[in-house]
Structure 1
Amino acid sequence: MSDDALRPMARTRLYEQVVERLRSHVADGGLRAGDRLPPERELAQRLGVSRASVRQAIVVLEVQGLVEVRHGGGTYLVGDSLDAEPVERLMERRRRLPDVLEAREALETKLAELAAERRTEDDLTAIAAALDHMEREIAGGGHGVEGDRLFHAAVTAAAHSALLAEFMRSIAEQIAESRTESLRQPGRPARSLAQHRAIQEAIAAGRPGPAATAMRRHVRTVAKVRLLSWDPS
């Protein structure tokens, strides 16, 4: 018998059970985006758990952008389901995210600076097309994830640095995680689009310093996510 077979058995945390019950409640009740969940006190009574466990479950759902907590106004569904990510995976992303954001700031700030120096008319066209795509996504009720990806890819291409582009490709999966995490923050898609426009303008004007500053400001905004303020303990 291998040692791995005798590893400690995982125990489901009580608040994870609450999350699963809430998911079933939303699915069975046919609740939709904008609908309100029962108050914490009622949920605790009906589930036979403490309000602290209910509160922990709500925080986990809020971190994932599945609910919006309006102080003094209750908890509301953001989408039509509560298909939550497993807590262990959420904790792993929380551990990894600061390093990813640090790398993004270092790489993308330099890429924006180089793009302002080296961009061609084709590069500017690609950047503008990416922002138009993002704007359409947001107008249609989306988060603008694909437009965001296209924009940063176009800036990377405009820098005409093969090695920096390779570095970006090497962490593409982690960047995608940080992109999704950021854009599901309330009000973030429109703010990111505005920051992208500022970066675009500096690159188009051939101003390396302002382009780098605008990109740094943008990536630091990306870093402001609910996940990093969550205390798993």
Structure 2
Amino acid sequence: MERQQKAYKGVIDYFKKKILDGELRPGEKLPPERDIAERLNVSRNSVREAIRIMDMTGVISSQQGSGNYITCEFQKSLAETMTMMFAMDQIDYRQISQIRQALECLAFSLAIENATDGQIKEMEKAVKELDRSQDDVKNVALDKKLHYTLAQASGNILVQDFLEACSGVIDSFIHDMRAEILRTEERKNLLNECHKKLIEGLKEKNEAKGLEALEHHFTLINEILKERGK
């Protein structure tokens, strides 16, 4: 067993070096399991275990019938780790909300310099649709899209991945949270006013205005969650 563990770790280290050396890039396909086993002189079981772990951690994507591809989607492993921590009561929603608020504030500050016109227009479109929509499911999707676009606009992949991981935990364990927050017209309007101020701050490159909008946004959310005992 110990020998097999060392073998699959050796396979992982082999591909790690290939990636670090630039010999494997995102989108490239890994050789067949048999070829990897022969090249590294290990069993196919060791290769399969290495591939399973690399798939779980987001290094590769296993596509049935097609093969294994380098993806480097590390947000996947972040989300899984945070989900398990939440499930085992190592973290709670309050802590997730705190880190999410800190990261969204950082995302906004970075987006002032990095956001494209297209991203700002995408956020404005989501806010306008939120104003008109009476559909709970659509409202949730629009809210997620707006915040995801802000994370993208930061230009920082780590900020984007951590925020996406936080969102994944929220969706996994507090299924109806977003819908409940957006369900009443008063709450939806209050949050959307924060969204509008956020975008105004982005367009005006007014950091204080945008950060104040985010502060109000998360204060509203945390008050609602406190009412629910989260």
TM-score class normalised by the smaller sequence: 0.5 to 0.7
| AA partner of residue 221 (structure 1) | L
1:219-230 matched pairs, under 5 angstroms: 219-225=218-224, 227-229=225-227
Q: 2:126 aligns with which of 113, 127, 130?
A: 130
Find the counterpart in structure 1 of residue 194 from structure 2.
195
Find the counterpart in structure 2 of residue 167 from structure 1.
162
Q: Does 1:106 align with 2:105?
A: no
Unaligned 5+ residue runs, structure 2?
Answer: 1-87
Cα distance in 2, alignment partners of residues 192 and 98 from structure 1: 19
Q: Please state how far the C-alpha of 1:181 moved relative to its aligned partner.
A: 4.5
Q: 1:97 aligns with which of 93, 99, 115?
A: 93
SS at match of 1:187: helix
Q: Please state how far the C-alpha of 1:152 moved relative to its aligned partner.
A: 0.6
Q: TM-score, normalized by length of structure 2?
A: 0.52
Find the counterpart in structure 1 of residue 114 from structure 2.
118
State, as a whole percentage, how many aligned pairs show the same letter: 20
| AA partner of residue 228 (structure 1) | K
Find the counterpart in structure 1 of residue 142 from structure 2.
147
> Which one has a larger percent helix, Structure 1 or Structure 2?
2
Find the counterpart in structure 2 of residue 26 from structure 1.
none
Checking the alignment, whether the CA contact within 8 Å between 1:116 and 1:203 is kept in structure 2 is: yes
Aligned pair count reads 139
Cα distance in 2, alignment partners of residues 133 and 185 from structure 1: 16
Unaligned 5+ residue runs, structure 1?
Answer: 1-91
SS at match of 1:160: coil
| AA partner of residue 187 (structure 1) | E
Q: Please state how far the C-alpha of 1:218 moved relative to its aligned partner.
A: 0.9
Find the counterpart in structure 2 of residue 217 from structure 1.
216
Cα distance in 2, alignment partners of residues 214 and 160 from structure 1: 21
Higher relative contact order (CA 8 A, sep 6+): 1
Q: 2:151 aligns with which of 143, 156, 160?
A: 156
Find the counterpart in structure 1 of residue 84 from structure 2.
none
Checking the alignment, whether the CA contact within 8 Å between 2:130 and 2:139 is kept in structure 1 is: yes
Q: CA RMSD in A?
A: 2.9
1:161-181 Cα deviation digits (max 9, x unpaired)? 111001112222234435334
Q: Please state how far the C-alpha of 1:184 moved relative to its aligned partner.
A: 3.8
Query: In structure 2, do the counterparts of structure 1 residues 149 and 122 end up closer, same or farther at CA, with 3 Å as the change threshold?
Result: same
SS at match of 2:205: coil
Runs of 4+ residues over 4 Å off in structure 1? 140-143
| AA partner of residue 166 (structure 1) | D
Checking the alignment, whether the CA contact within 8 Å between 2:119 and 2:153 is kept in structure 1 is: yes
Query: In structure 2, do the counterparts of structure 1 residues 197 and 216 end up closer, same or farther at CA, with 3 Å as the change threshold?
Result: same
Query: In structure 2, do the counterparts of structure 1 residues 98 and 205 end up closer, same or farther at CA, with 3 Å as the change threshold?
Result: same
Q: TM-score, normalized by length of structure 1?
A: 0.52
SS at match of 1:212: helix
Cα distance in 2, alignment partners of residues 167 and 210 from structure 1: 24
Q: Please state how far the C-alpha of 1:209 moved relative to its aligned partner.
A: 2.6
